[in-house]
C-alpha cells in the first residue's frame, strides 16, 4: 500500500479547516452581530479598479496590496491504482505587505477556544522580523520547517493561525522577504481595501453577503470578495 503523500495530508488538513470554517459561519449566522464596514476585492487590476469605481459614492478611502497566488498540481496513485490529480494552493505575501495589512486592521487570528472561525484582530505577527519565512495555519504547520513553492525550497517557521479578512483563504499562507517573493513564479493578484463611508451590513446575515457579491458580479465575474471591520 502506498503511503499517503504530504499533498494528500495537506488536502485533508485544508478540508478540515474549511469544514470547520463553514460550521463556524453557521454559528455566527445565529449569534452576535458581526458588522462589516469594509471589503477586500481581489483580481486583476482592471476588475479591481472597476469595483473601486462602483463603490466610489460610498467610499471613505481605499488602499491597494498585492500577493502571489500559486496553484500546483501533482499526480498521485490511489490504493486502488487509480491516478488522481491533487491540487495545492498557496498565497505568498511579503513581510512588508503583512505589516501594512496588520496596521490596517485586516489580519485576524483564530480564537483557539472556538472550533469555527471566531477571530480577533491580530496586532502583531509572530516572528515577522526573523530571517526565515513564516507559514500560517493550524497546529499541523508547527512541525513544518521547510516548504516547496514552485520548485523553490523555503525554510519556514510557524507564525499563528491567522488570515486576512473575516473569511479564511482556501490556501496555505506563506510570508516571505521581498527577494524571495520576486524569485518565485506565481500569478500576482491585485487586492484593494474599500472602506465604506456608511454601512449597516452584518456578516452573519447571508443577505448582506449576497448583496455585496451580487453587486460585484455585475462589475466582473472574476472578483473575489472578503469582508472586514475597520475601527477608526
Interval 3-28: pLDDT, tens: 444 444 444 444 444 444 444 444 44
229: its cell numbers: 471591520
- Measured in residues, the chain has a length of 232
Closest by CA position to 133, among listed 102, 155, 162, 101: 155
pTM summary value? 0.83
Closest by CA position to 135, among listed 164, 104, 93, 100: 93
Cα–Cα dist 76/72, whole Å:
13
Residue 144's φ and ψ, nearest 5 degrees, are -90, 130
Look at 4 and 78; give whichever has higher pLDDT.
78
Indicate if the pLDDT at residue 72 is higher than 80: yes
Taking only the tens place, the pLDDT of each residue in 149-196 is 998 999 999 999 999 999 999 999 999 999 999 999 999 999 999 999
> How are beta strands 133-136 and 146-149 bridged, if at all?
unpaired
Amino acid at each position: 500500500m502506498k503511503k499517503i503523500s504530504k499533498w494528500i495530508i495537506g488536502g485533508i488538513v485544508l478540508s478540515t479547516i474549511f469544514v470547520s470554517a463553514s460550521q463556524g459561519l453557521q454559528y455566527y449566522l445565529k449569534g452576535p452581530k458581526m458588522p462589516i464596514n469594509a471589503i477586500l476585492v481581489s483580481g486583476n487590476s482592471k476588475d479591481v479598479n472597476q469595483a473601486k469605481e462602483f463603490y466610489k459614492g460610498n467610499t471613505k478611502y481605499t488602499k491597494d496590496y498585492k500577493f502571489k497566488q500559486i496553484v500546483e498540481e501533482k499526480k498521485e496513485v490511489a490504493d486502488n491504482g487509480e491516478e488522481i490529480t491533487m491540487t495545492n494552493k498557496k498565497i505568498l505575501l511579503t513581510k512588508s505587505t503583512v505589516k501594512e495589512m496588520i496596521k490596517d486592521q485586516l489580519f485576524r487570528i483564530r480564537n483557539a477556544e472556538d472550533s469555527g472561525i471566531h477571530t480577533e484582530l491580530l496586532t502583531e505577527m509572530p516572528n515577522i522580523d526573523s530571517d526565515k519565512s513564516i507559514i500560517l495555519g493550524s497546529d499541523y504547520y508547527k512541525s513544518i520547517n521547510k516548504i516547496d513553492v514552485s520548485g523553490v525550497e523555503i525554510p519556514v517557521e510557524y507564525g499563528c493561525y491567522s488570515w486576512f479578512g473575516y473569511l479564511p483563504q482556501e490556501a496555505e499562507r506563506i510570508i516571505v522577504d521581498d527577494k524571495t517573493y520576486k524569485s518565485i513564479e506565481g500569478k500576482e493578484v491585485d487586492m484593494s481595501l474599500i472602506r465604506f463611508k456608511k454601512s449597516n451590513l452584518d456578516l452573519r446575515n447571508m443577505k448582506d453577503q449576497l448583496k455585496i457579491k451580487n453587486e460585484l458580479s455585475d462589475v466582473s465575474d472574476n472578483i473575489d470578495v472578503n469582508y472586514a471591520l475597520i475601527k477608526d
